[in-house]
Structure 1
Amino acid sequence: MSDQSSTCFSSHKKLKFFAKIRRFMQPRSSEKQFKVSDQEPIKENESVILVKVVEEGGCGALQRSVKSLHFGNLEEKEVAAKDIIRVAREDLSRRKLMAELGVIPPLVAMVGSEVVTRRSLAVRALVELANGTYRNKALMVESGILSKLPENIGVLEEQTRHEFAQLVLSISSLHNSQVPINLSKIVPLVISILESDSTFETKQLCLGTLYNLSTMLNNAGTLVSNEVINNLLRFSSVKETSEKALATLGNLVVTLMGKKVLESNLLVPENLIEIMTWEDKPKSQEISVYILMILAHQSSVQRLKMAEAGIVHVLLQVSLLGTTLARKRALKLLQWFKDERQTRMGPHSGPQTRRLSIGSPTNHNEASEGKRLMKNMVRQSLYKNLETITRRANADEGSSKLKFLATSSSSKSLPY
């Protein structure tokens, strides 16, 4: 037998031994293990995996890393984590291979270390291992990574906050699998980072995490109860973060609890109406109108608040200058305001109004007064909007359609 064959055979035996040790040390849960639904192979034959390690020439580095993580001292564990970061960046197959060799549980344990450098190395290694594989992320949750998340981010350096934000965003992508995620561990960390002086990039990662979690309606109760709404409204008013924040609000507003919290928020509807004026952010316009539609539906109180905040003027502008989807939604809302006291609409098509009693002078007077006020409000908003359109039309030689609309003072020319 050649020296190379002997070395590989010896390495094969050692790696097989380490794998057995890993299985022995892995915590056994009395609960039923969850099923990972990422369409990855559940588990290759271990001997085949170990042979691959040898054939790919990784027996030396990988052997030392696995050995150090399981049996080494603290300094050796740090060196092993650095090796894993380097190897994990190479390709997906190596990341899956290292997870099979049991490197995730000891790395998760290192995340709980009070030594900053050791904790940072472990988090970076886990971020690399999670890249592109649901199985590795599920193994991290199974190994207790959520219980290792810091409760006080004030003592963390910015780089460490960023690394934790990356890791939590990666884990939150398990929202559509059967892996149970404890939101009570993730959401407080995310909110703390959003309210800290962390960098813009770090906060963007946290907004991505909230969006992933909001796609599951069962998570709405936890998200709303952790003051997520206030932070989302705040970041929705920043153009660079508006789309992700508004998309998350759009997921929450369709739930009863999320809608209730938004209705009582002091920033609503003014913030959302302001966003509707952002012509350079068409996606934000579309989502903002959508959220307002949900809030206005079957709620005369919310429609009154919107009218007092000047929504009709803005809706007229969007209905003429917005994207196709934004125009469609704006016209729908305008129709609701126009027919506020006239039309009884279906249960899923807009605001509901009570039928007036025929022959009742009081109800007749109320209806006439309401109709007159609504007509005046629409007319005044129309004039303001047409002035804006006229200025833009004069600056644009090809906008003859808008110039024609600007010459008309009749509300009958509106496209609704």
Structure 2
Amino acid sequence: MSTSSSSSSSSTSSSNIWLISNKRLQFFSRIRRFLQSKAARKRCTDSEHVEDIKNISTAPKTINQEVIQVTVQEKEQIEDDSSVALQKSVKRLHFGSWEEKEMAALEIQRFAKEDVKIKKLMAELGVIHVLVSMVATEVVGRRRAAVQALIELANGTYTNKALMVEAGILTKLPMNVDIVDKLTRREFAELMLSLSSLANKQFPLSLSEIVPFLVGILESESSLETKELCIGSLYNLSAVLENARPLVSNGVVNTLLKLCSAKELSEKSLATLGNLVVTSMGKKAMEGSPLVPDSLMEILTWEEKPKCQESSLYILMILAHQSLAQQDKMAKSGIVHVILEVALVGSPLAQKRALKLLQWFKDERQAKMGSHSGPQTGRIAMGSPVNPREAQGGRKLMKNLVKQSLHKNMEIITRRANAADDSSKLKSLVISTSSKSLPY
């Protein structure tokens, strides 16, 4: 019995040794291919320098040859040193201790930043999988070194980003962002912004893992820079309509409605909400939010932020379109006076959208008045004759009341905008405007 157990244990240990040896063999094979490619490039560079030496004739040959020879030797020495250093870094990352892995990650980050070609090479050397596994460690310095290296390797390379996701980087995100220091949060947010661009390439991303992490940072006491990175990630994800459901179900709409009141975060937040409001789930979430329309109306007063005004009006238009409940909700909040001001002094696009909204409110009010107020054409009751002179007087009285209301509104707008030089233009607009062109 002991003989069989000892034989099985020896076979297991031998199999483990074989696996380790095979892994090391594969690693050194990759390193050998890398060095061979470097040598080939160096031979090509040497031949180019020889051609340069042959073509130089404007100075004494001996001086030029000595200078170029020294330059070539220095370049070769630098390339040899960097190749050896890179080889050692990759080796330490695979087989070194945790301290050696941390130092190797920092060195790989530096190599990837200096040479774009090295970023592609790292994928072949299996560096990405090791760095992703280091992200799950509880040691702050070790985790940050891995995340920083991944950020640099992901920069500008679709393949490396895809490999990181396949290696399970999204599963390594901390569940509780409050236990993560602010610097690490920012670095995680930067990495997620880079990876979220895969959504535009239709690459499958697990939103059930990434979205709660981003929302957690947005609702935490993080810096504005970190939050801006997270909103950028949500914007990339919201560009794909199929992602609307997980985004809305994780509370993205209410979170962004809160953040859009901050001028530093408003533009990207509104753009993300604009992507979500065109979906049925996104629109329903905004309709039921207590922050709508007040938070969006506040943005309409930001004259120094024309893009934010335009995005806010876009969302309000979609919410108000063919929705009497939303129109009533907006009217009770006093939106007409606000969009009337934007229609006069806003950007061309904001003016166009504000006028469209005003037209909807005007049509709705006219429809209500037609169904509830006074006798209408074709609906004159029997036994209640109408005096034409009295009817004409009533219409004149109504026009005068409308003009008085417009005069009052224009005076308020003029004072708020401090546009004394445009007062004549506003007055002429009021005088020439009838009750048919503006609603109030």
TM-score greater than 0.5 by the shorter chain? yes
- The aligned counterpart of 2:295 is 271
Query: Following the alignment from structure 1 to structure 2, what is the Cα–Cα distance between the partners of residues 341 and 415?
Result: 8
Query: Following the alignment from structure 2 to structure 1, what is the Cα–Cα distance between the partners of residues 404 and 424?
Result: 23
- 1:20 counterpart (13, 22, 26): 26
Question: Would you say the 8 A contact 1:316–1:382 is kept in 2?
Answer: no
TM-score (norm 2): 0.74
Query: Following the alignment from structure 2 to structure 1, what is the Cα–Cα distance between the partners of residues 342 and 324?
Result: 22
Query: Following the alignment from structure 1 to structure 2, what is the Cα–Cα distance between the partners of residues 322 and 258?
Result: 27
- 2:36 counterpart (47, 51, 54): 51
- The aligned counterpart of 1:10 is none
Question: What amino acid sits opposite 1:51 in the alignment?
Answer: Q
Query: Following the alignment from structure 1 to structure 2, what is the Cα–Cα distance between the partners of residues 61 and 388?
Result: 71
Q: Deviations over 1:32-68 (max 9, x none)?
A: xxxxxxxxxxxxx998754344544432111112111
1:16-415 matches, within 5 Å, as 20-21=26-27, 49-54=34-39, 55=42, 56-57=79-80, 58-340=82-364, 382-391=406-415, 395-397=419-421, 400-405=424-429, 410-412=434-436, 414=438
Post-superposition shift, 1:224? 0.6
Q: Identity across aligned pairs (percent)?
A: 62
CA gap 1:60/1:303 in 2 versus in 1, 3 angstroms: same
Q: Deviations over 1:106-158 (max 9, x none)?
A: 00000011111111110111011111111111110011111111101111111
Question: What amino acid sits opposite 1:130 in the alignment?
Answer: A
CA gap 1:207/1:393 in 2 versus in 1, 3 angstroms: closer
1:333 counterpart SS class: helix
Query: Following the alignment from structure 1 to structure 2, what is the Cα–Cα distance between the partners of residues 376 and 164?
Result: 63
Question: Would you say the 8 A contact 2:102–2:145 is kept in 1?
Answer: yes
What's the C-alpha RMSD, in Å, of the aligned pairs? 3.2
Q: Which has more radius of gyration?
A: 2
CA gap 1:244/1:106 in 2 versus in 1, 3 angstroms: same
CA gap 1:390/1:342 in 2 versus in 1, 3 angstroms: closer
Question: What amino acid sits opposite 2:142 in the alignment?
Answer: R
2:205 counterpart SS class: coil
Query: Following the alignment from structure 1 to structure 2, what is the Cα–Cα distance between the partners of residues 358 and 284?
Result: 46
Query: Following the alignment from structure 2 to structure 1, what is the Cα–Cα distance between the partners of residues 400 and 176?
Result: 55
Aligned length in residues = 357
1:397 counterpart SS class: helix
- The aligned counterpart of 1:346 is none
CA gap 1:22/1:391 in 2 versus in 1, 3 angstroms: farther
1:240 counterpart SS class: helix
TM-score (norm 1): 0.78
CA gap 1:238/1:360 in 2 versus in 1, 3 angstroms: farther
Post-superposition shift, 1:403? 4.0
Question: Would you say the 8 A contact 1:313–1:381 is kept in 2?
Answer: no
Post-superposition shift, 1:238? 1.0
Question: Would you say the 8 A contact 1:85–1:124 is kept in 2?
Answer: yes
Query: Following the alignment from structure 1 to structure 2, what is the Cα–Cα distance between the partners of residues 231 and 141?
Result: 26
Gaps of 5+ in 2: 1-22, 43-78, 368-375, 382-397
Question: Would you say the 8 A contact 1:383–1:409 is kept in 2?
Answer: no
- The aligned counterpart of 2:371 is none
Query: Following the alignment from structure 1 to structure 2, what is the Cα–Cα distance between the partners of residues 220 and 311?
Result: 28
Question: Would you say the 8 A contact 1:393–1:403 is kept in 2?
Answer: no
CA gap 1:18/1:411 in 2 versus in 1, 3 angstroms: farther
Greater relative CO, 1 or 2 (CA 8 Å, sep 6+): 1
